[in-house]
Amino acid sequence: MIETTPGAFAWLQRIRAFALDMDGTTYLGGRLLPGARDFVDLMIARETPFTFLTNNSSKSRAEYGRKLLGLGLPCGPERVMTSGEATIRYLLRERPGQRVYLAATPSFEAEVREAGIVLAEGRADADVAVLGYDTTLTFDRLVALCDLVRDGKPLVATHPDVNCPVDGGYWPDVGAFLALIERSTGRGADLVVGKPGPLMVTALCERLDLPAGDIAYVGDRLYTDVAMARRSGMLAVLVLSGETTLKDLEGTPEPPDLVVTGLDELTLLLSTPR
Protein backbone atom coordinates (compact mmCIF):
# COMPACT_ATOMS: atom_id res chain seq x y z
CA MET A 1 0.00 0.00 0.00
CA ILE A 2 1.14 3.53 -0.82
CA GLU A 3 -0.73 6.34 0.93
CA THR A 4 -0.23 9.43 -1.21
CA THR A 5 -2.83 11.50 0.67
CA PRO A 6 -2.31 11.78 4.44
CA GLY A 7 -5.13 10.01 6.24
CA ALA A 8 -6.24 8.04 3.15
CA PHE A 9 -6.11 4.72 4.98
CA ALA A 10 -8.26 6.08 7.82
CA TRP A 11 -10.67 7.45 5.18
CA LEU A 12 -10.81 3.99 3.60
CA GLN A 13 -11.99 2.52 6.90
CA ARG A 14 -14.88 5.04 7.02
CA ILE A 15 -16.04 4.41 3.45
CA ARG A 16 -19.71 3.37 3.16
CA ALA A 17 -19.76 2.11 -0.46
CA PHE A 18 -17.42 1.09 -3.24
CA ALA A 19 -17.49 1.57 -7.00
CA LEU A 20 -15.12 -0.48 -9.12
CA ASP A 21 -13.85 -0.27 -12.65
CA MET A 22 -14.17 -3.53 -14.55
CA ASP A 23 -11.50 -4.37 -17.14
CA GLY A 24 -8.05 -4.06 -15.58
CA THR A 25 -9.43 -3.85 -12.06
CA THR A 26 -11.91 -6.70 -11.59
CA TYR A 27 -11.00 -8.83 -14.60
CA LEU A 28 -8.64 -8.78 -17.55
CA GLY A 29 -10.34 -9.95 -20.73
CA GLY A 30 -11.85 -13.29 -19.73
CA ARG A 31 -9.79 -13.78 -16.57
CA LEU A 32 -10.83 -12.78 -13.05
CA LEU A 33 -8.03 -10.84 -11.34
CA PRO A 34 -6.63 -11.93 -7.97
CA GLY A 35 -8.72 -10.85 -5.01
CA ALA A 36 -11.85 -9.99 -6.99
CA ARG A 37 -13.95 -12.83 -5.58
CA ASP A 38 -12.63 -12.24 -2.03
CA PHE A 39 -13.46 -8.53 -2.30
CA VAL A 40 -17.02 -9.23 -3.46
CA ASP A 41 -17.51 -11.84 -0.73
CA LEU A 42 -16.31 -9.34 1.89
CA MET A 43 -18.67 -6.63 0.64
CA ILE A 44 -21.63 -9.03 0.69
CA ALA A 45 -20.75 -10.33 4.15
CA ARG A 46 -20.52 -6.80 5.53
CA GLU A 47 -23.60 -5.63 3.60
CA THR A 48 -21.53 -2.82 2.11
CA PRO A 49 -23.01 -1.47 -1.14
CA PHE A 50 -20.82 -1.83 -4.22
CA THR A 51 -21.24 -1.17 -7.92
CA PHE A 52 -19.21 -2.02 -11.00
CA LEU A 53 -18.77 1.04 -13.21
CA THR A 54 -17.78 1.10 -16.87
CA ASN A 55 -17.59 3.68 -19.65
CA ASN A 56 -18.43 1.05 -22.25
CA SER A 57 -21.99 1.67 -23.45
CA SER A 58 -22.01 -0.97 -26.18
CA LYS A 59 -23.36 -3.63 -23.81
CA SER A 60 -26.36 -3.59 -21.51
CA ARG A 61 -26.23 -4.08 -17.76
CA ALA A 62 -27.75 -7.52 -18.30
CA GLU A 63 -24.87 -8.50 -20.59
CA TYR A 64 -22.29 -7.31 -18.08
CA GLY A 65 -24.15 -9.12 -15.33
CA ARG A 66 -23.92 -12.35 -17.30
CA LYS A 67 -20.19 -11.82 -17.77
CA LEU A 68 -19.62 -11.29 -14.05
CA LEU A 69 -21.62 -14.41 -13.23
CA GLY A 70 -19.68 -16.33 -15.87
CA LEU A 71 -16.42 -15.29 -14.22
CA GLY A 72 -17.64 -16.68 -10.91
CA LEU A 73 -18.80 -13.49 -9.17
CA PRO A 74 -22.22 -13.65 -7.46
CA CYS A 75 -23.26 -10.38 -9.11
CA GLY A 76 -26.07 -9.63 -11.53
CA PRO A 77 -27.02 -6.56 -13.57
CA GLU A 78 -28.19 -4.74 -10.44
CA ARG A 79 -24.49 -4.39 -9.53
CA VAL A 80 -23.51 -2.80 -12.86
CA MET A 81 -23.64 0.81 -13.98
CA THR A 82 -22.57 1.91 -17.46
CA SER A 83 -22.10 5.33 -19.03
CA GLY A 84 -25.24 4.39 -20.95
CA GLU A 85 -27.27 4.30 -17.72
CA ALA A 86 -25.77 7.63 -16.66
CA THR A 87 -26.77 9.08 -20.04
CA ILE A 88 -30.33 7.78 -19.65
CA ARG A 89 -30.52 9.38 -16.19
CA TYR A 90 -29.31 12.67 -17.68
CA LEU A 91 -31.88 12.59 -20.49
CA LEU A 92 -34.75 11.84 -18.11
CA ARG A 93 -33.68 14.55 -15.69
CA GLU A 94 -32.55 17.35 -18.04
CA ARG A 95 -34.37 16.64 -21.32
CA PRO A 96 -37.71 15.07 -20.39
CA GLY A 97 -39.99 14.48 -23.35
CA GLN A 98 -37.38 15.35 -25.96
CA ARG A 99 -37.05 13.08 -28.98
CA VAL A 100 -33.65 11.46 -29.23
CA TYR A 101 -31.80 10.46 -32.39
CA LEU A 102 -29.75 7.55 -31.08
CA ALA A 103 -26.64 5.95 -32.51
CA ALA A 104 -26.13 2.87 -30.35
CA THR A 105 -26.08 -0.91 -30.26
CA PRO A 106 -29.42 -2.73 -30.13
CA SER A 107 -28.87 -3.62 -26.45
CA PHE A 108 -28.35 0.00 -25.40
CA GLU A 109 -31.24 1.12 -27.59
CA ALA A 110 -33.46 -1.37 -25.78
CA GLU A 111 -32.45 0.13 -22.42
CA VAL A 112 -33.25 3.63 -23.70
CA ARG A 113 -36.69 2.55 -24.90
CA GLU A 114 -37.35 0.70 -21.64
CA ALA A 115 -36.63 3.93 -19.74
CA GLY A 116 -39.49 5.60 -21.64
CA ILE A 117 -37.34 7.88 -23.80
CA VAL A 118 -38.91 8.63 -27.18
CA LEU A 119 -36.62 7.90 -30.11
CA ALA A 120 -36.72 10.03 -33.24
CA GLU A 121 -37.17 8.27 -36.56
CA GLY A 122 -34.76 10.59 -38.33
CA ARG A 123 -33.21 14.03 -38.63
CA ALA A 124 -36.46 15.96 -39.04
CA ASP A 125 -38.10 15.11 -35.70
CA ALA A 126 -35.03 14.91 -33.43
CA ASP A 127 -34.49 17.33 -30.54
CA VAL A 128 -31.12 15.93 -29.50
CA ALA A 129 -28.56 13.46 -30.88
CA VAL A 130 -26.98 10.83 -28.62
CA LEU A 131 -23.89 8.86 -29.58
CA GLY A 132 -23.13 5.67 -27.68
CA TYR A 133 -20.39 3.15 -28.36
CA ASP A 134 -22.10 1.87 -31.50
CA THR A 135 -20.28 -1.21 -32.78
CA THR A 136 -23.07 -1.50 -35.37
CA LEU A 137 -22.56 2.07 -36.65
CA THR A 138 -23.37 2.52 -40.34
CA PHE A 139 -22.30 5.24 -42.73
CA ASP A 140 -25.89 6.44 -43.07
CA ARG A 141 -26.19 6.83 -39.29
CA LEU A 142 -22.90 8.73 -39.20
CA VAL A 143 -24.13 11.08 -41.92
CA ALA A 144 -27.35 11.66 -39.95
CA LEU A 145 -25.36 12.57 -36.83
CA CYS A 146 -23.27 15.06 -38.79
CA ASP A 147 -26.41 16.57 -40.34
CA LEU A 148 -27.99 17.01 -36.91
CA VAL A 149 -24.87 18.73 -35.60
CA ARG A 150 -24.87 21.06 -38.60
CA ASP A 151 -28.53 21.79 -37.89
CA GLY A 152 -27.48 23.00 -34.45
CA LYS A 153 -29.00 20.11 -32.50
CA PRO A 154 -27.23 19.25 -29.22
CA LEU A 155 -24.89 16.26 -29.41
CA VAL A 156 -24.50 14.11 -26.28
CA ALA A 157 -21.87 11.35 -26.08
CA THR A 158 -21.96 8.55 -23.53
CA HIS A 159 -18.20 8.72 -22.86
CA PRO A 160 -14.92 10.13 -24.22
CA ASP A 161 -12.74 7.00 -24.69
CA VAL A 162 -10.90 7.08 -28.02
CA ASN A 163 -10.08 3.38 -28.12
CA CYS A 164 -11.64 0.29 -26.56
CA PRO A 165 -9.16 -2.45 -25.57
CA VAL A 166 -10.03 -5.86 -27.00
CA ASP A 167 -8.20 -9.15 -27.25
CA GLY A 168 -5.29 -8.55 -29.60
CA GLY A 169 -5.47 -4.75 -29.75
CA TYR A 170 -7.96 -1.88 -29.86
CA TRP A 171 -11.19 -0.86 -31.55
CA PRO A 172 -12.09 2.79 -32.25
CA ASP A 173 -14.41 4.06 -29.52
CA VAL A 174 -16.77 7.01 -29.06
CA GLY A 175 -13.97 9.56 -28.82
CA ALA A 176 -12.73 8.56 -32.27
CA PHE A 177 -16.22 8.94 -33.73
CA LEU A 178 -16.52 12.36 -32.08
CA ALA A 179 -13.24 13.46 -33.68
CA LEU A 180 -14.61 12.49 -37.10
CA ILE A 181 -17.88 14.38 -36.49
CA GLU A 182 -16.02 17.48 -35.31
CA ARG A 183 -13.65 17.39 -38.27
CA SER A 184 -16.61 17.11 -40.66
CA THR A 185 -18.91 19.68 -39.02
CA GLY A 186 -16.61 22.01 -37.11
CA ARG A 187 -18.49 21.23 -33.89
CA GLY A 188 -17.82 18.68 -31.19
CA ALA A 189 -20.02 17.14 -28.53
CA ASP A 190 -22.01 19.53 -26.36
CA LEU A 191 -21.87 17.09 -23.46
CA VAL A 192 -19.83 13.97 -22.65
CA VAL A 193 -21.33 11.93 -19.83
CA GLY A 194 -18.90 9.16 -18.83
CA LYS A 195 -15.68 9.04 -16.83
CA PRO A 196 -14.02 11.31 -15.86
CA GLY A 197 -17.01 13.65 -16.21
CA PRO A 198 -19.14 14.76 -13.23
CA LEU A 199 -22.40 13.33 -14.61
CA MET A 200 -21.08 9.80 -14.06
CA VAL A 201 -20.56 10.68 -10.41
CA THR A 202 -24.02 12.27 -10.18
CA ALA A 203 -25.59 9.06 -11.48
CA LEU A 204 -23.48 6.92 -9.14
CA CYS A 205 -24.42 9.00 -6.08
CA GLU A 206 -28.09 8.78 -7.11
CA ARG A 207 -27.78 5.01 -7.45
CA LEU A 208 -26.06 4.55 -4.06
CA ASP A 209 -27.95 7.39 -2.33
CA LEU A 210 -24.70 8.63 -0.80
CA PRO A 211 -22.50 11.73 -1.12
CA ALA A 212 -19.27 11.33 -3.09
CA GLY A 213 -17.12 11.56 0.05
CA ASP A 214 -18.62 8.33 1.38
CA ILE A 215 -17.68 6.37 -1.75
CA ALA A 216 -14.34 4.85 -2.76
CA TYR A 217 -13.68 4.52 -6.47
CA VAL A 218 -11.26 1.75 -7.42
CA GLY A 219 -9.72 1.72 -10.88
CA ASP A 220 -6.57 1.22 -12.93
CA ARG A 221 -6.43 4.39 -15.08
CA LEU A 222 -5.12 7.75 -13.94
CA TYR A 223 -6.84 9.89 -16.58
CA THR A 224 -10.34 8.47 -16.14
CA ASP A 225 -10.73 6.52 -12.89
CA VAL A 226 -8.44 8.51 -10.60
CA ALA A 227 -9.24 11.85 -12.25
CA MET A 228 -12.97 11.34 -11.77
CA ALA A 229 -12.60 10.29 -8.14
CA ARG A 230 -10.28 13.17 -7.24
CA ARG A 231 -12.39 15.85 -8.95
CA SER A 232 -15.60 14.66 -7.31
CA GLY A 233 -14.33 14.13 -3.77
CA MET A 234 -14.47 10.33 -3.77
CA LEU A 235 -11.58 8.36 -2.28
CA ALA A 236 -9.39 7.54 -5.29
CA VAL A 237 -7.89 4.05 -5.05
CA LEU A 238 -5.51 3.03 -7.85
CA VAL A 239 -4.84 -0.66 -8.53
CA LEU A 240 -1.68 -1.69 -10.39
CA SER A 241 -3.35 -4.74 -11.94
CA GLY A 242 -4.24 -2.99 -15.21
CA GLU A 243 -2.90 -0.12 -17.28
CA THR A 244 -0.99 2.04 -14.78
CA THR A 245 2.48 1.36 -13.35
CA LEU A 246 4.24 3.03 -10.42
CA LYS A 247 6.42 4.92 -12.87
CA ASP A 248 3.29 6.51 -14.38
CA LEU A 249 2.62 8.20 -11.03
CA GLU A 250 5.69 10.40 -11.34
CA GLY A 251 4.56 13.95 -11.96
CA THR A 252 0.89 13.10 -12.48
CA PRO A 253 -1.25 16.19 -11.75
CA GLU A 254 -4.04 14.18 -10.08
CA PRO A 255 -2.45 11.40 -8.02
CA PRO A 256 -4.59 8.74 -6.34
CA ASP A 257 -5.19 8.89 -2.61
CA LEU A 258 -4.20 5.25 -2.16
CA VAL A 259 -2.23 2.81 -4.33
CA VAL A 260 -2.54 -0.98 -4.00
CA THR A 261 -1.31 -3.86 -6.13
CA GLY A 262 -4.84 -5.06 -6.77
CA LEU A 263 -8.14 -6.05 -5.19
CA ASP A 264 -6.30 -8.75 -3.23
CA GLU A 265 -4.30 -6.15 -1.29
CA LEU A 266 -7.34 -3.88 -0.92
CA THR A 267 -9.33 -6.77 0.59
CA LEU A 268 -6.50 -7.46 3.01
CA LEU A 269 -6.40 -3.81 4.08
CA LEU A 270 -10.14 -3.78 4.69
CA SER A 271 -9.99 -7.05 6.63
CA THR A 272 -7.18 -5.97 8.96
CA PRO A 273 -7.81 -2.39 10.11
CA ARG A 274 -4.93 -0.67 11.88
What is the distance between the alpha carbons of residues 58 and 8, in angstroms, rounded to a whole number? 34
Check pLDDT > 80 for residue 168. Answer: no
Check pLDDT > 70 for residue 274. Answer: no
Per-residue pLDDT tens digits for 68-92: 999 999 999 999 999 999 999 999 9
Predicted pLDDT of residue 23: 86
Check pLDDT > 90 for residue 225. Answer: yes
At 273, is the pLDDT very low, low, confident or very high (cuts 50, 70, 90)?
low
Please state, rounded to an integer, the average pLDDT across all residues of the chain: 94
What is the distance between the alpha carbons of residues 179 and 26, in angstroms, rounded to a whole number? 30
Mapped onto helix, strand or coil, the DSSP state of residue 160 is coil
Burial bucket for residue 169 (CB in 10 Å: 0-12, 13-18, 19+): exposed
CATH topology of 2-55+195-271 equal to that of 84-192?
Answer: yes
Domain boundaries, the chain: 2-55+195-271, 84-192
Per-residue pLDDT tens digits for 21-55: 998 899 987 889 999 999 999 999 999 999 999 99
Predicted pLDDT of residue 185: 98
Burial bucket for residue 183 (CB in 10 Å: 0-12, 13-18, 19+): exposed
Predicted pLDDT of residue 1: 87
Q: Are 33 and 219 in contact (CB under 8 A)?
A: no
For the domain made up of 84-192, give the CATH fold: Rossmann fold (3.40.50)
Alpha-carbon distances of 115 from 88, 97, 108, rounded to whole Å: 7, 12, 11
β-strand partners of 157: 131, 192
Q: 2-55+195-271 is classed in which CATH architecture?
A: 3-Layer(aba) Sandwich (3.40)
pTM: 0.88
